[in-house]
């Protein structure tokens, strides 16, 4: 009998074959998870409403997005500004955080009046950041406008449609002087009332970065359609010629300042655009990060930069105005949105010189986010051996936790260090080292890019769809 025949006659071992198959499968899954893709649950609301991590305690529900994270591509490409990434929390590396990259290695970054500014460092001039359009669309928060328009006598509002039987105007907001950064802005309709009052700094700041979209159908005798955004003492007026306008009328952008002459502040569009009777036009007007834009039917018709508006001037007024002259018109599906207002209070840092290979991370839910603005380490030194120092994340009463000693020997400290390890210390045996900022995330701590929300696809109780790309 040949050697080949003997090999063929060996008894089968199905248990061994199955074990080998299972082992190989587990190895492949582990390697895939570690090096390629991994799902993360969003536990908090720091990125809302872009990513949901919200518990509705009163109603026994909530939303916790599961995002798929790309861990492979960062080995071949650098991270870009505005990417949403998962990283090890630098103050406790046993925890993972998810934020948006705003500051890049080697640059100087500042928060001013709700906007983020950057420079190349040193004496280089600061410039406001202009996010790509796909990011703008994500970060604009839709406002509730029902019954919030101040209308002229001949104008009426019904279900998001404003109709003017003659020349006139509609102003938003009706009940307040300025649009403010309400915590509930941007949430899906059925969630708005449930999240009111949650934010730490809700409605604290006036917001001038606004957007209005609608479909406009001017009346035949309308000569001008006006859409205005007021920001402090300035008003940005976009004028579009109507059916009754003069033949040589042009689209205009006017910067009206109540403290100066506006004659030299008019911008005129190069293209010949005018509204015709019996036609409807989709328009978008926005002021974001000191840039005013008019779009008609998806095309940019006019765009110009404006000077930054100080916060104290925003309290004068911020809002939207729709108007017509000569005749009336119809504004259908009117939506007003505001940009993220990046807060920087006295307890938060608002200026950074970013080291190489490090990033500044900010949450989209800037009113209720633990991020580079406030990350702080607290430290202790052992009195018995001054060479031993322990540093960990300062989280108020959560870390360290002080309790009375059970044996009457004085207070105890329960303190987690940067590795997440718990230390039980007698307060009398340690010396406080105070606090120090720890604002940056090193590249080595970043786990990967968030690419898509994979769960839940739909939340029936809130009528919310969550299956979407992360932008």
pTM, rounded to two decimals: 0.84
Q: pLDDT for 249-308, tens place per residue?
A: 999 999 988 776 655 677 887 778 999 999 999 999 999 999 999 999 999 999 999 988
Task: Report the run of H or E that residue 192 belongs to, with start and end.
Answer: helix 192-195
Per-residue pLDDT band at 209 (split at 50, 70, 90): very high
Q: pLDDT for 351-378, tens place per residue?
A: 999 999 999 999 998 888 889 998 999 9
Strand-pair partners of 70: 37, 449
Phi first, then psi, for residue 66 (nearest 5°) are -110, 120
pLDDT top residue among 76 and 158: 158
CATH (residue range 141-338): 2.60.120.560
pLDDT top residue among 444 and 410: 444
Answer whether 47's CB lies under 8 Å from 364's CB: yes
pLDDT top residue among 10 and 348: 348
Report the pLDDT averaged over residues 421-442: 91
Answer whether 203's CB lies under 8 Å from 306's CB: no
Separation CA 106–CA 129 (nearest Å): 16
Examine the pLDDT at 37 and tell me if it is beyond 90: no
Q: Which fold has domain 41-110+348-371+442-469?
A: Umud Fragment, subunit A (2.10.109)
Examine the pLDDT at 424 and tell me if it is beyond 80: yes
The tokens describing 19, both together, are: 């074990």
Q: pLDDT for 313-358, tens place per residue?
A: 877 889 999 999 999 999 999 999 999 999 876 567 789 999 999 9
**Residue 342 DSSP one-character state:** B
Per-residue pLDDT band at 210 (split at 50, 70, 90): very high
Q: What is the pLDDT of residue 1?
A: 43
- What residue ranges do the domains of the chain occupy? 41-110+348-371+442-469, 141-338, 376-437
Examine the pLDDT at 2 and tell me if it is beyond 60: no
Per-residue pLDDT band at 31 (split at 50, 70, 90): very low
């Amino acid at each position: 009998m040949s050697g080949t025949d003997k090999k063929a006659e060996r008894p089968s071992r199905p248990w061994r074959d199955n074990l080998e198959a299972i082992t190989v499968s587990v190895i492949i899954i582990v390697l895939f998870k570690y090096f390629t893709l991994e799902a993360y649950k969003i536990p908090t609301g720091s990125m809302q409403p872009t990513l949901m991590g919200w518990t509705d305690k009163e109603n026994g529900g909530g939303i916790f997005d599961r995002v798929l994270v790309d861990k492979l591509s960062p080995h071949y490409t650098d991270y870009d500004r505005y990417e949403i990434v998962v990283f090890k929390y630098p103050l406790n590396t046993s925890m993972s955080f998810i934020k948006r990259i705003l500051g890049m290695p080697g640059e100087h970054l500042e928060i001013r009046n709700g906007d983020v500014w950057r420079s190349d460092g040193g004496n280089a001039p600061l410039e406001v950041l202009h996010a790509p359009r796909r990011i703008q669309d994500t970060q604009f928060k839709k406002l509730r406008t029902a019954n919030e328009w101040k209308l002229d006598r001949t104008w009426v509002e019904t279900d998001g449609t404003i109709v003017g039987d003659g020349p006139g105007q509609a102003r938003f907001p009706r009940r307040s002087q300025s649009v403010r950064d309400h915590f509930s802005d941007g949430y899906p309709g059925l969630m708005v009332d449930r999240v009111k009052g949650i934010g730490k700094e809700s409605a604290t700041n006036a917001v001038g970065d606004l957007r209005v979209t609608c479909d406009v159908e001017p009346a035949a005798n309308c000569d001008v359609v006006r859409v205005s955004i007021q920001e402090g003492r300035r008003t940005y007026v976009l004028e579009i010629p109507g059916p009754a306008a003069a033949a040589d009328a042009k689209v205009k952008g006017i910067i009206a300042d109540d403290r100066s002459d506006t004659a030299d502040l008019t911008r005129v569009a190069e293209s010949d655009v005018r509204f015709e009777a019996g036609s409807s036009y989709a328009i978008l007007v926005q002021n974001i990060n000191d840039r005013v834009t008019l779009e008609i039917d998806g095309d940019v018709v006019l765009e110009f930069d404006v000077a930054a508006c100080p916060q104290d001037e925003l309290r004068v007024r911020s809002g939207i105005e729709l108007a017509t002259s000569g005749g009336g018109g119809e504004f259908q599906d009117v939506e007003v949105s505001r940009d993220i207002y990046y807060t920087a209070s006295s307890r938060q840092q608002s200026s950074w010189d970013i080291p190489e290979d490090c990033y500044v991370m900010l949450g989209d839910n800037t009113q209720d986010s633990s991020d580079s603005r406030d990350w702080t380490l607290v430290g202790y030194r052992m009195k018995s051996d001054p060479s031993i120092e322990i540093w960990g994340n300062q989280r108020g009463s959560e870390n360290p936790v002080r309790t009375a000693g059970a044996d009457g020997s004085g207070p105890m400290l329960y303190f987690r260090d940067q590795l997440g390890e718990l230390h039980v210390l007698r307060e009398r045996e340690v010396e406080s080292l105070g606090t120090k900022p720890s604002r940056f995330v090193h590249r080595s701590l970043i786990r990967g890019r968030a690419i898509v929300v994979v769960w839940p696809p739909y939340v029936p109780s809130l009528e919310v769809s969550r299956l979407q790309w992360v932008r």
